[in-house]
Amino acid sequence: MSAAANASLLKAIASRRTIYQLKPELPASLTINDIQATVQAIIKDTPTAFNSQPNRALILTGETHKKVWNSVTDSIEAEAGKKRPASVRDEAYGSVIFFTDDKTTEKLQADFPAWAAAFPQFADHTSGAAQIISWTALEQLGLGAHLQHYNGYVKAALPDKIPAEWSVVGQLCFGTPAETTGEKTYITNQVEILN
Ligand SMILES: Cc1cc2nc3c(=O)[nH]c(=O)nc-3n(C[C@H](O)[C@H](O)[C@H](O)COP(=O)(O)O)c2cc1C
């Protein structure tokens, strides 16, 4: 990788931010198929323990996005708790739903019993990697996005055709950004070289 490509990668990583205020539209010249192709490539190439490939994803938009997020909103009793899922329903253009396939994890546990306890955690690790790479990539496409974890509520509201063994692990809600991000504060956190 050249220094310029490395700088561009680091810039993309630093540019990824949480953007809650969204408009339910796509930036000009971007299509939902572009988003699908991007997430598809990331799911394919994100590394997994023993190359087991437990990551799954789907993209909700249109009526299905509205229906799922309306159900999440209705399922939460406290009025204050409804605010975020209602904003996703009304202001996001879509949401990427990230899953891990529990059957894949169970097969790994059967095949490699000495590592059995580690595999659920490894599945979460690779899902987190896919989520954050996707978040970074969508923002490079000109979208704004934020990450949510209404996992059980989302699972309950998804269409029946989603396999029961797919566990919901995160939702990346996206649309056209309608706010600029504020300053972010950082702790001092030096990565040292030990020779
Ligand atoms: C693993 C992880 C879980 C997160 N969960 C949530 C969440 O459930 N709801 C939410 O609004 N933001 C969530 N966030 C967003 C963080 O609050 C946010 O990334 C952090 O404050 C830094 O801000 P930035 O995204 O603008 O850099 C999550 C972020 C990460 C990395």
The tens digit of pLDDT for each residue in 97-142 reads 999 999 999 999 999 999 999 999 999 999 999 999 999 999 999 9
Q: Is the pLDDT of residue 23 over 80?
A: yes
Pairing of strands 94-101, 166-177: antiparallel
Q: Is the pLDDT of residue 82 over 90?
A: yes
Whole-number Å distance, alpha carbon 149 to ligand 1 midpoint, is: 10
Mutate to test the pocket of ligand 1, among 15, 17, 18 (most ligand atoms within 8 A of CB): 18
- Residues 35-43, mean pLDDT to the nearest whole number: 98
The residue whose CA has the least distance to atom 14 of ligand 1 is: 147
**What's the confidence (pLDDT) of residue 122?**
98
Tens digit of each residue's pLDDT (9 = 90 or more) over 57-67: 999 999 999 99
**CATH class belonging to 19-177:** alpha beta
Mutate to test the pocket of ligand 1, among 83, 147, 153, 179 (most ligand atoms within 8 A of CB): 147
Whole-number Å distance, alpha carbon 146 to ligand 1 midpoint, is: 7
d(CA 131, CA 83): 23
> Rounded to a whole number, what is the distance in angstroms from the first to the last CA of the chain?
25
Give the nearest ligand 1 atom to 19 CA.
Answer: 26
Share of the chain above pLDDT 70, in %: 99
The answer for 169, left when phi > 0, alpha when psi is -120 to 50, beta otherwise, is alpha
d(CA 80, CA 78): 5
Give the nearest ligand 1 atom to 84 CA.
Answer: 11
